[in-house]
């Protein structure tokens, strides 16, 4: 059995598409990634700020499974950790299969509660033409599957580094499917 772990961590103090890899990020309870442009109690994504800047920030931390990069490589896309703007790249965990409210205990202290799916946007095509379509699919029932990662809020702060273990805490049933946030 593969142990779930952190592959890479990234942060950027400015709005942009990709984020540089760093040795460590610090998660701040109720806020997000210290020093990252999306850190805060209220929404920081520019498109959402235009709609209502007082909305709670349900997108404090963006996580992407590294297995997506292998899938994208098979489709001709060379994507590295941080390239599509995630803060934490994971391995060995089915992020998209988690229910809303699942918690990820990362490293020694940090806990991130999953709020929903990242909604792939046209910025992906600006980075690599055709990438938006590559991170969208359909399930057996014909519903859209968004594969560009999940979003969460920080419940307990702490440092996160590549190699840190991730433990999954599933909430009590009934489980709510992840929807875009």
Q: What is the CATH number of the domain that holds 31?
A: 2.40.33.20
- What are the Cα distances from residue 133, in Å, to 65, 76, 123, 138? 17, 13, 12, 11
Q: State the chain's mean pLDDT as an integer.
A: 95
Task: Kindly provide the b/e burial profile for residues 82-109, where b requires at least 16 CB atoms within 10 angstroms of the residue's own CB.
Answer: bbbbbbbbbbebebbebebebbbbbbee
Residue 144 lies in a domain: no
**What tokens appear for 90 in the block?**
């994971």
Query: Which H or E run includes 102?
Result: none
Q: How does pLDDT run across 138-158, given as a tens digit for each residue?
A: 999 999 999 999 999 999 999
User: Does some domain include residue 113?
Assistant: no
Tens of pLDDT, residues 61-108 = 999 999 999 999 999 999 999 999 999 999 999 999 999 999 999 999
pTM, 2 dp:
0.96
Confirm whether 168 is domain-assigned.
no
65 in Cβ contact with 149 (< 8 Å): yes
Name which of 59, 64, 91 is nearest 148 in CA terms. 64
Per-residue pLDDT, averaged over 124-135, amounts to 95
Report if residue 14 sits inside a domain. yes
Evaluate whether residue 133 is within a structural domain: no
71 phi, psi to nearest 5 deg? -60, -45
Q: Is residue 86 part of a domain?
A: yes
């Amino acid at each position: 059995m593969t142990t779930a772990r952190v592959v890479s961590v990234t942060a950027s103090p400015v709005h942009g598409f990709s984020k540089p890899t760093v040795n460590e990020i610090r998660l701040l309870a109720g806020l997000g990634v210290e020093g990252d442009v999306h850190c805060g109690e209220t929404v920081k994504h520019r498109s959402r700020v235009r709609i209502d800047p007082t909305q709670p920030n349900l997108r404090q931390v963006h996580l992407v499974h590294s297995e997506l990069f292998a899938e994208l490589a098979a489709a001709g896309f060379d994507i590295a950790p941080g390239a599509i703007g995630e803060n934490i790249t994971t391995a060995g965990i089915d992020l998209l299969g988690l229910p809303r409210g699942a918690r990820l205990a990362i490293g020694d202290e940090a806990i991130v509660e999953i709020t929903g799916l990242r909604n792939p946007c046209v910025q992906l095509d600006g980075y690599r033409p055709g990438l938006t379509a590559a991170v969208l699919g359909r399930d057996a029932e014909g519903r859209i599957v968004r594969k560009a990662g999940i979003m969460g809020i920080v419940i307990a702060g702490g440092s996160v580094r590549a190699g840190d273990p991730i433990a999954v805490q599933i909430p009590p049933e009934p489980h709510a499917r992840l929807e875009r946030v």
